[in-house]
């Protein structure tokens, strides 16, 4: 039995001694375990460039004009003559008020005009007769003066009657309630049979002009002052005098295709929020922008001639939320750099502090490495600008090889001699 155990152990001991001798030989010859090649990372080399200073501000859509439809005369609403929620034109009929009373007033005013005309005719005749009698010394001058005064009074009475007729006709026309402006009308706030008057506290309907529309946004006054001071110091270049480019982004994140223009900023600061209101105007021919809609407005307020920007995906965050970048030193070793991120322009982030021109920033592949590691830098290309193509088999194979660690490969190398020994 002892002899049998010896026979079994001898091959194992021999194989162990053989492997140890091979490893010693490799170490003596300067070899060792095979080293993995440096991880390949995509990098960009920073440079200073002219970039717009854009403030991304929240806001709401507001109509350019809004009008409440109110009656100018009192009466019973007999008919609504518009479609709720439709577009109406200025002067278009909206409601009909009962006309009967106002038609009677017009007829009475016309009769008063006719009576005044008859009285004036008689006064004119009396005055002419008095003039003839005075010329023949048949009557006194006082009689002529009285006739002339009566004539003037008749003329005044006729003018007053005609004015009353005009007023009655205007009131009759006001029984048709018309649109004061062109725009989109909302729902009717009264129904047929409702009694309305000139003193109504509630409007009959509301009309809003929606092409163009306003976008009112709020900006902290400190940010506005900082931008103006930067312009005054020459750190920023003004786009055009009193001009700022604006663009709009909808609540779902999509961009509104039409550009806008900045109209003005408020001269006062809201004491509660410390913000000023900026109003911009956007075309809205399709009617997609509705009053009260939440939007974000990008206001281009200047140009930074020496800005440094990196792809947004290169920016990392620590547990405290501070921005960090992986930067390569001259020996291609990774350094972790704390930076300050200012604003975003598309898919790029502007670095305001912590980075200089000419430095190499890791954009892709930093998941496979870490600070202090030596890497192989490759110029990174934005996928959105690259030509669509199929996957590179060589790159896929290389990536698969890099995912295999030396500790996974070593047991496989030792397993083969062990199997041969068992045989």
Distance CA 339, CA 30 (A): 43
Give the per-residue pLDDT at 1.
Answer: 47
Task: Tell me, yes or no, whether 103 lies in a domain.
Answer: yes
pLDDT surpasses 90 at 110: yes
Q: Are 244 and 262 in contact (CB under 8 A)?
A: yes
* 270 neighbors 18 (Cβ within 8 angstroms): no
Identify the band that residue 174 occupies on the pLDDT scale cut at 50, 70 and 90: very high
Q: What is the pLDDT of residue 416?
A: 38
Does the residue 87 lie in any domain?
yes
Per-residue pLDDT, 156:
93
Domain total in the chain: 4
Q: What is the predicted pLDDT for the residue at 67?
A: 92
Please tell me whether residues 159 and 92 are part of one structural domain: no
Do both 82 and 197 map to the same domain? yes
Distances (CA, A) of 34 to 31, 294, 374, 405: 8, 60, 17, 11
287 shares its domain with 344: no
Q: Is 359 exposed, middle or buried (0-12, 13-18, 19+ CB in 10 A)?
A: buried
Q: Are residues 85 and 180 in the same domain?
A: yes
Q: Are 338 and 378 in a shared domain?
A: yes
CA separation for the pair 69, 97 (Å, rounded): 14
Q: Are residues 109 and 166 in the same domain?
A: yes
Q: Which carries the bigger pLDDT value, residue 384 or residue 243? A: 384
Instruction: Please indicate, yes or no, if residue 411 is contained in any of the structural domains.
Output: no
CB 237 within 8 A of CB 303: yes
**Domain end (from 268, 286, 305):** 305
Cα gap 338→321, rounded to integer Å? 11
Contacts 24+ apart (CB under 8 A), 345-348: 345/51, 345/52, 345/54, 345/309, 347/311, 347/312, 347/313, 347/382, 347/384, 348/309, 348/310, 348/311, 348/312
The 10 Å Cβ neighbour count of residue 340 is 12
**Band (166; pLDDT cuts 50, 70, 90):** very high
Q: Per-residue pLDDT averaged across 54-83, rounded?
A: 88
Of the candidates 252, 249, 94, 106, the residue with the CA atom closest to the CA atom of residue 177: 94
Long-range contacts of 127-131 (CB under 8 A, 24+ apart): 127/151
User: Any idea what the CATH number is for the domain that residue 87 is in?
Assistant: 2.40.50.100
Span 309-320, average pLDDT: 86
Report the CATH number that the domain containing residue 334 is assigned in CATH: 2.40.420.20
How far is 295 from 288, CA to CA, in rounded Å? 12
Percent of the chain with pLDDT over 70: 75
- The answer on 349 and 313 residing in a single domain is yes
Highest mean pLDDT among 236-245, 278-287, 297-306: 278-287
Q: DSSP letters of 380-398?
A: ---TTTSPP----HHHHHH
Does 94 score more than 90 pLDDT? Answer: yes
Backbone angles phi, psi at 290, to 5 degrees: -115, 150
141 occurs within a structural domain:
yes
Mean pLDDT score across all residues of the chain: 77
Residue where one domain finishes, among candidates 152, 173, 194: 173
Segment 38-48 mean pLDDT: 84
Segment 294-309 mean pLDDT: 78
Q: Are residues 86 and 194 in the same domain?
A: yes
pLDDT of residue 78: 93
Most confident of 199-203, 219-223, 281-285, 402-406: 281-285
pLDDT tens figures, 179-219: 999 999 989 999 899 999 888 788 999 999 888 899 888 87
Point out which residues pair with 68 in neighbouring strands.
206
CATH number assigned to the domain comprising residue 263: 2.40.30.170
Which among 305, 325, 353 is the end of a domain?
305
Residue 33 lies in a domain: no
Establish if 6 belongs to a structural domain.
no
Q: Are residues 78 and 180 in the same domain?
A: yes
User: Exposed (0-12), middle (13-18) or buried (19+): which is 87, by Cβ within 10 Å?
Assistant: middle
Give the whole-number percent of the chain exceeding pLDDT 90. 21
CA distance 307 to 51: 6
On whether both 89 and 184 belong to a single domain, the answer is yes
pLDDT score, position 395: 46
Residue 74 pLDDT exceeds 50: yes
CA distance linking residue 198 with residue 176, whole number of Å: 14
| pLDDT higher than 60, residue 70 | yes
> Among the listed ranges 24-28, 79-83, 182-186, 278-282, which one has the minimum average pLDDT value?
24-28
- Residue 165 and residue 129 share a domain: yes
Q: What is the pLDDT of residue 240?
A: 57
> pTM for the full model?
0.57
> At residue 403, does pLDDT exceed 80?
no
Q: Does 234 map to a domain?
A: yes
Radius of gyration of the chain (CA): 45
What letter would DSSP give residue 47? -
DSSP letters spanning 64-99: EEEEEE--SS-EEEEEE-S-TT-EE-TT-EEEEE--
Higher pLDDT, 87 or 52: 87
Containing structural domain, residue 288 = 53-63+210-305
| More confident position, 299 or 379 | 379
> Are residues 146 and 103 part of one domain?
yes
Say what the pLDDT of residue 6 is.
Answer: 47
pLDDT in tens, 367-395: 778 888 888 888 888 776 655 544 454 44
Cβ contacts of 51 within 8 Å, gap of 6 or more: 303, 304, 307, 309, 345, 350
Q: Is residue 420 part of a domain?
A: no
**41: nearest Cα among 299, 334, 385:** 334
Choose between 192 and 267: higher pLDDT. 192
pLDDT at 9 over 60: no
């Amino acid at each position: 039995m002892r002899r049998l155990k010896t026979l079994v152990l001898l091959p194992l001991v021999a194989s162990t001694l053989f492997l140890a001798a091979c490893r010693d030989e490799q170490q003596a010859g300067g070899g060792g375990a095979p080293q993995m090649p440096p991880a390949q990372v995509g990098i960009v080399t920073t440079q200073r460039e002219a970039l717009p200073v854009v403030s991304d501000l929240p806001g709401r859509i507001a109509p350019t004009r809004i009008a409440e439809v109110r009656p100018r005369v009192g009466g019973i609403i007999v008919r609504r003559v518009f479609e709720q929620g439709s577009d109406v034109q200025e002067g278009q009929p909206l409601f009909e008020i009962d006309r009967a009373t106002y038609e009677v007033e017009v007829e009475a005013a016309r009769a008063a005009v006719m009576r005044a005309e008859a009285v004036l005719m008689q006064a004119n005749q009396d005055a002419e007769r008095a003039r003839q009698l005075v010329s023949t010394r048949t009557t006194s001058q006082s009689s002529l003066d009285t006739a002339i005064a009566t004539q003037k009074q008749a003329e005044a009475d006729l003018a007053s009657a005609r004015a009353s007729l005009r007023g009655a006709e205007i009131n009759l026309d006001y029984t048709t309630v018309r649109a004061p402006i062109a725009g989109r009308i909302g729902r009717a706030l009264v129904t047929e049979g409702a009694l309305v008057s000139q003193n109504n506290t509630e409007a009959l309907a509301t009309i809003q002009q929606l092409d163009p529309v306003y976008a009112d946004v709020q900006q902290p006054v400190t940010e506005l002052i900082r931008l103006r001071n930067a312009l005054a110091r020459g750190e920023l270049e003004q786009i055009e005098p009193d001009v700022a480019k604006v663009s709009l982004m909808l609540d779902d994140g999509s961009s509104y295709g039409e550009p806008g223009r900045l109209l003005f900023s408020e001269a006062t600061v809201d004491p509660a929020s410390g913000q000023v209101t900026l109003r911009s105007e956007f075309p809205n021919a399709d009617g997609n922008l509705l009053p009260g809609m939440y939007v974000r407005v990008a206001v281009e307020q200047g140009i930074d001639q020496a800005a440094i920007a990196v792809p947004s995906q290169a920016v990392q965050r620590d547990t405290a939320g501070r921005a960090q970048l992986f930067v390569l030193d001259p020996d291609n070793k990774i350094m972790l750099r704390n930076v300050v991120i200012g604003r975003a322009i598309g898919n790029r982030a502007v670095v305001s502090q912590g980075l200089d021109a000419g430095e190499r920033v890791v954009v892709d592949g930093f998941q496979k490495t870490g600070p202090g590691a030596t890497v192989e830098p490759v110029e990174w290309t934005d996928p959105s600008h690259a030509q669509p193509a199929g996957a590179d088999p060589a790159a896929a194979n290389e990536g698969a090889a890099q995912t295999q660690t030396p500790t996974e490969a070593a047991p496989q190398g030792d397993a083969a001699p062990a199997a041969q020994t068992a045989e």
